[in-house]
Amino acid sequence: MPESDVAQKIRAGYLAFNDGDFDSMLHALAEDFELHRRLGGPDDSHVIQGRDAFRQYLEPDVFSTMRSEVEEVLESPGRVLIEATTTAVGAGSGVEVTLKSWQVWEHDGPRAHRVTLFASRADAEAAAGLGG
């Protein structure tokens, strides 16, 4: 099944992010967009609200470089699950870190209004309504 328009926009946003373009993904986001974390860390309770705040969140800070490669896209009604492998290099240390992550993007058609970051595929699949 071909990807929906919103899934294509989100995938294109990842590609643009990898090229240092932090603005392109904003076209896929609703004005009231929110980022939530379910990673098991202290930031899980902090919600990033609004496109401008999300754009600022994308800016490099502790990493000199970061790339997120989309490995898989799965869809259910109103949701897009992205599995990505992210590689980042610490700005001060030069240490390279690679991790796999899952994001569930919720949308109402043309634009995403929420993304939730997950540390486990099972949790992401359940949130996306794909868990068996």
83-to-10, 50, 75 alpha-carbon distances in Å: 12, 23, 12
List the single range of 56-60, 85-89, 113-117, 124-128 with lowest mean pLDDT. Answer: 56-60
Of residues 41 and 104, more confidently modeled: 104
Domain count of the chain?
1
**Is residue 90 one of the residues assigned to a domain?**
yes
pTM: 0.90
**Is residue 89 one of the residues assigned to a domain?**
yes
CATH code for the domain of 71: 3.10.450.50
**Is residue 23 one of the residues assigned to a domain?**
yes
pLDDT tier at 92, thresholds 50, 70, 90: confident
pLDDT at 132: 58
The backbone region for 94, taken as left when phi is positive above 0, alpha when psi lies in -120 to 50, beta otherwise, is left
pLDDT at 102: 97
Q: What is the pLDDT of residues 36-63, one digit of tens each?
A: 999 888 888 899 999 999 988 887 777 8
Q: Which residues pair with 49 in a beta bridge?
A: 34
Domain that holds residue 60: 5-127
**Is residue 132 one of the residues assigned to a domain?**
no
CB half-sphere exposure, 92, CA atoms < 13 A: 2
**Is residue 83 one of the residues assigned to a domain?**
yes
pLDDT tier at 65, thresholds 50, 70, 90: confident
**Is residue 100 one of the residues assigned to a domain?**
yes
**Is residue 63 one of the residues assigned to a domain?**
yes
